[in-house]
Structure 1
Amino acid sequence: MTSTTGTAVDADRALKARHRSMWASGDYPRLAADLLPELGDLLVGACGVTSGDRVLDVAAGSGNVAIPAARTGASVVACDLTPELFDAGRARAAAEGVELEWREGDAEALPFADDEFDVVLSCVGVMFAPHHQAAADELVRVCRPGGRIGLINWTPEGFIGQMFATMKPYAPPPPPGASPPPLWGRADHVLELLGDRVADVTTERRNLTVDHFDRPEDFRDYFKAVYGPTIPVYKSLVDQPERAAALDAELAELVRSRDRGQGSTVVDWEYLLLTATKKRDTVPSPR
């Protein structure tokens, strides 16, 4: 007979394997380079990363935050569930002449000791871990007392949050216990996750202006080909061409409804920037 605990462990492993496969599909390093490069420098600056800091980038992808952090002279570890993304990051780091460590790891069970890092960062990364409280507990656990935690996450009301809302009726149901990623873009949600273990919290909603696409349909087709979370939704509709066409139309219309460009498509993507300091008297969470 299989124990309940064993069943839960197997289910979690299967879930994480699906997540790894999802992010390995498409070409996330291309998307990060095309659309998100400024967010890495912004988060590094907001947290005051400097030479001598020991820094962890959680759900680092191809190093959009980790590489700018390494440029400061900090000692940096880029950790991600999907090591298939590391080759692009290593190539970029080599081209920029910076060194950092690349480490496979689950944001909900980070392979690091308590209080190991001066700064713990994540940019539109940890928000995709399915169990929010477990991920938040890990962010706090590996940060030293007095260390800094910095996060950038898409808001529910912003463009990417609304893209997920548009795809939801067409997507397979989420696994039991999983929470929607854009909740990490609500300050009250993140503060509840971090609880009384942090102080000196700052939150600010900002916009990333994206002008990479000529037409709304170009955005949609790019995300269908490149973005991990979009790809499996369309794969699930491969035998439902009418529903796939309906999703095509809705995604293009979403872009059109947010477009403020003239002659090309310009859309603002809202995100939440949050910084905090881990309290010095925080008791480590049990693992």
Structure 2
Amino acid sequence: MSADQALKSKHRAMWALGDYAAVAADVIPSLGPVLVEAVGAGPGTRVLDVAAGSGNAAIPAALAGADVVATDLTPELLEVGRNLNDGLRWQVADAEALPFGAGEFDTVMSCVGVMFAPHHQVCADELVRVCRPGGTIGLVNWTPQGFIGQMFATMKPYAPPPPPGAQPPPLWGSEEHVRALFGDAVTDVVAQRRMLRVDVFPTAAAFLDFFKRNYGPTIAVYRANAADPAAVSALDAALLELARSHDLGDGAMDWEYLLFVARTPAENA
């Protein structure tokens, strides 16, 4: 197995941990519909959702009338999505090597998904390749300075070092970084930093308990430190403090994300 195959296998296993579908359905259910509206998915549009997970954007796009293909590296997540809605196509695929022809889709989108693929430029090039000329690319990604970006920064000292060439996921939430990835392969860029109100955790402890049980990256970091009770305790304290620092009252938090929508140049442009 090559180093890249080993890395993808590790990612696949990480996202199968816990219950990401619960995160999508209970914590961030509005993000998918926001993206679907922003890209204008609807009847007559062929949509590819990359790193779709359990379908938090793919299913709303299908319900809006679009012809949707939902892909993800982790088959377990796709199976959950298929059980939620079998009216679209669910397919295992690597965001860095999409098994589709050039220009096959009117809209290519990803909701806090493609940001977790390790090689950013490869992913951006693939999104452009499978989008037709004059088509739409739409992304929702957590920002580095927002709550989830800061959560990853908090966990980083406790996580195994990433392999050479792998880039941090929250970089996809930096407008400057994403613009550089796409360059002149896209036009008509609209990039907005927005807030998602999360009010399902009454306390910081409730947030931590939920993420330790359900969110693959958090579970993986805790497993990596399971033999070191002092590290586990320190990580608990750091994540609790992060949640408390974002508490707006009664446990409500605002999580920042970047909404990025662009078009591929038309053939006659």
Shorter-chain TM-score above 0.5: yes
SS at match of 1:15: helix
C-alpha contact 2:187 2:262 (8 A) present in aligned 1: yes
1:145 corresponds to: 133
Quote the residue 2:253 is aligned against.
267
1:63 aligns to what?
55
- Which residue number corresponds to residue 80 of structure 1? 72
Q: Quote the Cα distance in structure 2 between the aligned partners of 1:218 and 1:37.
A: 18
Give 1:1-287 correspondences, 5 Å limit. Answer: 10-94=2-86, 99-261=87-249, 264-281=250-267
The 3-state SS of whatever aligns with 2:196 is: strand
Q: What SS is found at the alignment partner of 2:2? A: helix
Between the aligned partners of 2:245 and 2:31, the Cα distance in structure 1 is 24
Any stretches of 5+ residues in structure 1 without a counterpart? 1-8, 283-287
Q: Give the structure-2-normalised TM-score.
A: 0.98
AA aligned opposite 1:131? H
Post-superposition offset of 1:281? 4.4
Asked if the contact 2:71/2:78 (under 8 Å) is kept, the reply is no
Give the distance between the partners of 2:183 and 2:3, measured in 1 at CA. 28
Which structure 2 residue ranges, 5 or more long, are not aligned?
Answer: none
The one-letter code of the counterpart of 1:279 is: P
Helix, strand or coil at the partner of 1:109: coil
Instruction: With the length of structure 1 as denominator, give the TM-score of the two structures.
Output: 0.92
Structure 2 distance, partners of 1:37, 1:233, is 25
Report the 3-state secondary structure (helix = DSSP H, G, I; strand = E; otherwise coil) of the residue aligned with 2:91.
strand
4+ runs deviating over 6 angstroms: none
Q: Is the 8 A contact 2:134 2:267 kept in 1?
A: no
Amino acid at match of 2:12: R
Q: Percent identity?
A: 63
Q: How many residues align?
A: 268
Q: How far did residue 37 of structure 1 move?
A: 1.1
Residues 118-140 of structure 1: per-residue CA shift (max 9 Å, x gap): 00000000000000000000000
